[in-house]
Amino acid sequence: MGLFSKFSEWNHARQEKFLSEMEALGSCPDCRGRGFNSYTPNEFYYSNVYDCPGCNGSGLYSDWAESQAEM
pTM beyond 0.85: the answer is: no
49, β-bridge pairs: 38
pLDDT value of residue 19: 93
Q: pLDDT (tens digit, 9 = 90+) per residue, 27-53?
A: 999 999 998 887 766 666 666 678 898
Q: pLDDT (tens digit, 9 = 90+) per residue, 9-27?
A: 999 999 999 999 999 999 9
Write the DSSP symbol of residue 35: S
57 close to 32: Cβ distance less than 8 angstroms: no
